[in-house]
């Protein structure tokens, strides 16, 4: 296991590379989902106030 983590001495290269990739993709996913949820809420609010005003 220790040998796996060490990556033949290249741990400082391999793990940050994989880490950055996973972090970027995860961050993008989270940001996209949150924006989508926020816009859903905003649209519903807008449509509700529109209906109430009529």
- Which two tokens mark 44? 């519903």
Under the binding rule (CB under 8 A), the answer on residue 8 touching other proteins is yes
What element of type H or E holds 26?
helix 11-53
Residue among 18, 25, 41 nearest 7 (CA): 18
Under the binding rule (CB under 8 A), the answer on residue 30 touching other proteins is no
- With tokens 């983590």, the residue in question is 5
Question: Taking the complex as a whole, how short is the minimal distance between the CB of residue 14 and other proteins, in angstroms?
Answer: 5
* Binding stretches for other proteins (CB under 8 A): 4, 7-10, 13-14, 16-18, 20-21, 24-25, 28-29, 32-33, 35-36, 39-40, 42-43, 46-47, 50
């Amino acid at each position: 296991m220790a040998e796996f983590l060490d990556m033949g001495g290249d741990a400082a290269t391999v793990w940050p590379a994989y880490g950055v990739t996973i972090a970027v993709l995860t961050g993008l996913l989270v940001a996209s989902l949150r924006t989508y949820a926020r816009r859903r809420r905003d649209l519903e609010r807008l449509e509700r106030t529109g209906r109430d005003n009529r």
